[in-house]
Amino acid sequence: MGSFANFIQNMDWWGGLTLLVSAVAALLCIVLHELSHGFVAWRLGDPTAKSAGRLTLNPLKHLDPLGLLMMIIVKVGWAKPVPVDMRYFKHPKSGMAITALAGPVANFLTSFASIALSSLIVRLPPFGEAEVVLLCFLSNLALLGVGMGLFNLIPISPLDGSKILFALLPDRMYYKVMRYEKYAMGLIVVLMLLGVFDRPLTFLMVHVLHFFCSITGMPLGSLLAFQDLSYLFSMFG
50-85 pLDDT, tens digit each? 999 999 988 888 888 887 777 777 667 677 888 999
| 222: nearest Cα among 119, 110, 129 | 119
95-105 pLDDT, tens digit each? 999 999 999 99
pLDDT at residue 169, rounded to an integer:
78
Instruction: Give catalytic residue positions.
Output: 34
CA-based radius of gyration for the chain:
20
**Amino acid letter, residue 122:** V
With contact defined as beta carbons under 8 Å apart, do 225 and 136 qualify? no
Q: Write down the pTM of the prediction.
A: 0.85
Of all residues in the chain, the percent with pLDDT exceeding 90 is 44
Cα distance between residue 128 and residue 121, in whole Å: 11
Q: Which residues contact 87 (CB under 8 A, 6 or more apart)?
A: none
